Structure 1
């Protein structure tokens, strides 16, 4: 009855690029200093969320597809916590 309860979603096990590679990809798009890196499951797909602070104190979030390294979005954050 509960035999499948602890199975890890298949998308989690299909990660292809490392966190370091994701950071390098993000910095190539938005130069600055990385302030936070997170990994999230969005719609069944693993995505790196990399927050970069630029030299002029703007904060950007770069979302990168963990499987291929493709940049999904680059957004400037409105408020800094």
Structure 2
């Protein structure tokens, strides 16, 4: 019984000292609310398939991209990436708000800024209708459309088209909703 009581006292001392050191750390950092402040240093992750000739097109600095992103969506920047996707050079900025995570995109060449699923941006950049995307897919691979939908993928709008050929082969195709270009064709085995 004495061993159990001694163990309980040791555990109480350990738990108490952990709680005390956490409170002391909050006070040293000037934080009484129990939420740890985020370091202001956020490193930029750079897409490794950005070619050297593309680098010369970067006109917006990382600091400017951060400012523009926070103007579009107030919060705390958690992550920032410079990506080269389908001919666009974009900063993807992940911002944490009190309620959720929001991705904000900043065009690294023009500075245009928009939030994920922004209806005004969608209306501006989507130039190809769903019916046109289906025709483009069928011209590339004859068959039957199983499913087709508009999707936002890393700040760009893409039609994802699933097809089946007359030989029952399954094909998935990504088509740019801006240009109508076929971005990817994936044949299922």
- TM-score normalized by the length of structure 1: 0.74
Q: How many residues align?
A: 67
Choose from 98, 103, 115 the match for 1:74: 115
- The residue that corresponds to 1:65 in the other structure is 107
- The residue that corresponds to 1:45 in the other structure is 88
Instruction: Tell me how far 1:53 sits from its aligned partner.
Output: 0.4
Q: 1:45 to 1:11 in 2, by over 3 A?
A: farther
Does the 8 Å CA contact 1:11/1:44 hold for their aligned counterparts? no
Relative CO higher for 1 or 2, CA cutoff 8 Å, sep ≥ 6? 1
- TM-score normalized by the length of structure 2: 0.33
- The residue that corresponds to 2:61 in the other structure is 18
Which stretches of structure 1, 4 residues or more, deviate above 3 A after TM superposition?
A: none
Greater fraction strand: 1
Whose radius of gyration is greater, 1 or 2? 2
Greater fraction helix: 2
The CA RMSD over aligned residues, in Å, is: 1.5
Task: Mark the runs of 5 or more structure 1 residues left unpaired by the alignment.
Answer: 1-7, 77-81
Task: Mark the runs of 5 or more structure 2 residues left unpaired by the alignment.
Answer: 1-50, 118-189
